[in-house]
């Protein structure tokens, strides 16, 4: 597909077929993600691939617990709109996707979040180009349990920059209307 079509077809997918994505395809996409630009060409991203559904459910439960503590701390936050979902034991923040990819970076490097974000976008475009669906799950960034972090494989001095679910979409939602382009100022 051409570039313009790729941009329009990348959607957030939350409903997947019950079908694993082959590991060789995931590796190809991650190789393409590594083509992303990074500050001073440091390429700080590292990847963790999880296809174990029980582990993903435990990560989901830990993420919901963390979310509820945020809601208690900031009761007026717009984040509180997720309270009903987060208190539902059957709600899985990963929408039962067949795969989860964490993009992590060393937290002592000042631009790891920006660089890992670039790699994450490349990853999502690589998936779209293969007919796969992704969704960036912001709720999964708050894993605090050291034992769970160790089990997942996140080194002590690394932080989660992105959590992306991946799979074969049951359907692809329509493109939501976009806001008009706003240019605050042009200086020539």
24-60 per-position pLDDT tens digit: 999 999 999 999 999 999 999 999 999 999 999 999 9
Q: Using a CB cutoff of 8 Å and minimum separation of 24, what contacts does 170-178 make?
A: 170/15, 170/16, 170/17, 171/15, 172/9, 172/11, 172/13, 172/133, 173/11, 173/12, 173/13, 175/8, 175/11
Structure token digits, residue 74: 């900031």
113-153 per-position pLDDT tens digit: 999 999 999 999 999 999 999 999 999 988 889 999 999 99
Question: What CATH code is carried by the domain that includes residue 149?
Answer: 3.40.109.10
Residue 152 in any domain: the answer is: yes
- Whole-number Å distance between alpha carbons of 9 and 19: 21
Residue 150 in any domain: the answer is: yes
pLDDT at 144: 86
Provide the domain count of the chain: 1
Residue 177 in any domain: the answer is: no
Sheet holding 158-167, edge to edge: 46-50, 99-106, 158-167, 133-136
Residue 53 in any domain: the answer is: yes
Residue 8 in any domain: the answer is: no
pLDDT at 174: 87
Residue 180 in any domain: the answer is: no
Q: Which range marks the domain in which residue 33 is found?
A: 16-167
Residue 179 in any domain: the answer is: no
Q: How confident is the model at residue 17 (pLDDT cuts 50, 70, 90)?
A: very high
- Least confident range from 14-18, 28-32, 78-82, 114-118: namely 78-82
**Over pLDDT 90: what percentage of the chain?**
82
Q: What is the pTM of this model?
A: 0.93
Residue 52 in any domain: the answer is: yes
Mean pLDDT of the chain: 94
pLDDT at 77: 84
């Amino acid at each position: 597909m051409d570039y313009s079509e790729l941009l329009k077809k990348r959607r957030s997918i939350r409903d997947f077929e019950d079908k694993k994505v082959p590991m060789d395809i995931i590796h190809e996409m991650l190789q393409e993600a590594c083509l992303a630009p990074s500050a001073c060409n440091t390429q700080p991203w590292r990847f963790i691939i999880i296809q174990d559904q029980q582990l993903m459910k435990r990560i989901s439960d830990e993420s919901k617990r963390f979310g509820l503590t945020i809601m208690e701390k900031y009761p007026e936050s717009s984040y509180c709109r997720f309270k009903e979902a987060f208190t539902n034991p059957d709600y899985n923040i990963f929408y039962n996707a067949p795969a989860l990819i964490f993009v992590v970076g060393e937290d002592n490097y000042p631009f790891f979040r920006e660089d890992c974000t670039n790699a994450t976008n490349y990853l999502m475009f690589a998936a779209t180009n293969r007919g796969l669906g992704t969704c960036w799950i912001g709720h999964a960034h708050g894993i605090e349990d050291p034992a769970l972090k160790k089990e997942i494989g996140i080194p002590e001095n690394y932080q989660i920059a992105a959590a992306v679910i991946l799979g074969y979409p049951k359907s692809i939602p329509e493109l939501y209307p976009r806001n008009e382009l706003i240019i605050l100022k042009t200086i020539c």
